[in-house]
A and B are shown apart, each in its own frame.
Chain A
Amino acid sequence: DIQMTQSPSTLSASVGDRVTITCRASQSIDNWLAWYQQMSGKAPKVLIYKASILETGVPSRFSGSGSGTEFTLTISSLQPDDFATYYCQQYSRYPRTFGQGTKVEI
């Protein structure tokens, strides 16, 4: 199975901060990577797919980059609604696997 490792596990930040989350794959997944946001007690929501393509309706302060084994999710200016847990997921091979999550908190 492809292991997905996110860092950091927890991130303390303030409104207006630039935030970067890293996701590393145990083997190359090309750019078959999605990022999800999960608010507390809610279902996940997709933000980015194919490593860097913003899903329709997602604010432009979110961006993704990377290919192969190393990927990043960046929030250019953190907003109050962005305090949540973020997950990466590879869809290159089965089984699909998620990172362990990064909680962005105040």
Chain B
Amino acid sequence: EVQLVESGGGLVQPGGSLRLSCAASGFTFSSYWMNWVRQAPGKGLEWVANINQDGSEKNYVDSVKGRLTISRDNTKNSLYLQMTSLRAEDTAVYYCARGDHSGYDHYCYSWGQGTRVTVSS
């Protein structure tokens, strides 16, 4: 069974930093694209970033480029999101999501339960 468990969320001041982690199990982590998707309070889903199997390709939504960095460690079956220069509009639940069965960067097949990030002074 695919399991994704996010951690690292919390309250941070504007301009601050945070590192989110996602621990994966139940599948061969190194074989799949991985994604971060966020959801602001009471709002819809927003795709944030994804990374390919060996970490050589990364894609971001424009609003986070230069501030949020996706990475992975296949030896630890873990996905990360390094967040810097945080803004109030980054406040959201952040979901880790595995790519689909094909191994390509298509849809999000399985999701974690999310970790909440609040940016406020």
Contact = CB atoms under 8 A, between A and B. Distances in A.
Contacts of A32: 106
Nearest to A95: B61
A42 B93 CA distance: 11
Interface centre among B44, B62, B107, B113 (most CB of A within 10 A): B107
Interface in B73-121: 95, 100, 105-114
Band of interface residues on B = 20 to 34
Interface residues of chain A: helix, strand, loop or mixed (majority): loop
Contact of B59 (A55, A87, A95): A95
A91 B105 contact: yes
B47 A43 contact: no
A44 B108 contact: yes
A87 B111 contact: no
B46 interface: yes
Band of interface residues on A = 20 to 34
A24 B95 CA distance: 25
Contacts, number: 55
Given A95-B61, A95-B62, A87 B108 contact: no
B11 interface: no
Given A43-B95, A43-B114, A98 B107 contact: no
A46 interface: yes
B47 A98 contact: yes
Contacts of A34: 106-108
Contacts of A49: 100, 106-107
Interface string A63-106: 00000000000000000000000010101001111111100000
Nearest to B105: A91
A98 B44 contact: yes
Nearest to B104: A91
A91 B111 contact: no
A45 interface: yes
